[in-house]
Amino acid sequence: MTPTLVILRNPRTRHAPAEQALALAAQPLRSRGWAITIETPTDTMHTVARARAAAARGVDAVAACGGDGTVHAVANGLAGSATALAVLPAGTTNVWAREAGIPRAPAAALALLPTARRLRIDLGRAHLDGTERRFLLMCGIGLDAAVVQRVEGSRAKRRIGRGWYAAVGALALARARPADTTIELDTIQRAVPLLQLVAGNTRLYGGMARITGDARANDGLLDVAILAGRARLDAPRLALHAMRGALHRRRVRGVEYLRTAQLTVDASPPRPVQLDGEYAGTTPVRLAVDRTALDVLVAPGPRLLFGD
């Protein structure tokens, strides 16, 4: 049977290959009998729609050619279908590609597909601002979402990349103030002075740290790191610990690490929310897990993310 692949290319990502270059990279697979279509959606919602349409046609896989925002859009379009998510990384950090062991060069990423592992994994689900969206990597509430909101779509992000995130993040830390926040887990409510919350379906954060380092993408749970504090230096202190990673293995004052299938976060004043590095709105937000919601193609070999 002829394998079918749709490549959804985001030309706005920092390292987006030209369509002609993609066609050239895909030629070895075509010579082996693969039917490959390259499409260039106009925006995020168009990307979701094109991924959903490909799944409805029964395409074997859809490759997100772009950054984690493009991967996020394609994952939302494929959620609940039998069509697998593949990735041709072309963004700033490419967190999912790193988690999945996907090489950076498009030709190498495409060459991996015939031998890739096909796995069924969970997706996170977020209800906020009257909408429902899935996330593949994580949901961030607080400081990181404020940074994403400011950076998203800026010309500096395309020119400078991670350096612009670092600059905006440093300013956000200097101005950080906690928000009185209620976190509900099952039937238990707790009040915390929240600086940052990360609910991870995966382990790697921002391409550097492992804030939710115990996460498994197929265990039906979200790993949650809660960073709280009111002292003036709490925000930079906790940020330093987070960048060092292993919050799940070290006792850090102001950090709580837990695992849950659902939680609700409400804050005063409302706090910004990001999903997979994309600004999504403000609290209140309800998070849950869609078990075995997505097929993914990843590099051969065992990975802790999948319980290997």
d(CA 100, CA 97): 5
User: Looking at the DSSP assignment, which residues form a beta bridge with residue 183?
Assistant: 190, 265
89 vs 213, which has greater pLDDT? Answer: 89
Tens of pLDDT, residue by residue over 92-150, are 889 999 999 999 999 999 999 999 999 999 999 999 999 999 999 999 999 889 888 87
Tens of pLDDT, residue by residue over 60-96, are 999 999 999 999 999 999 999 999 999 999 988 899 9
What SS3 state is found at 31? helix
Fold of 125-290: Tumour Suppressor Smad4 (2.60.200)
Q: What is the DSSP string of 178-214?
A: -EEEEEEETTEEEEEEEEEEEEESSS-BTTTB-TTTT
Annotate 257-294 with b (16+ C-beta within 10 A) or e (fewer): bebbeebbbbbeebbbbbbbbbbbbbbbbbbbbbeebb
4-115 CATH, one of 3.30.420.40, 3.40.50.10330, 3.40.190.10, 3.40.50.300: 3.40.50.10330
| CA-to-CA dists, residue 261 to 174, 187, 258, 275, 289, angstroms | 33, 13, 10, 17, 6
Listed by start position, the domains of the chain span: 4-115, 125-290
Q: pTM higher than 0.85, yes or no?
A: yes
Kindly tell me the sign of the dihedral angle through the C-alpha atoms of 273, 279, 281, 282.
positive
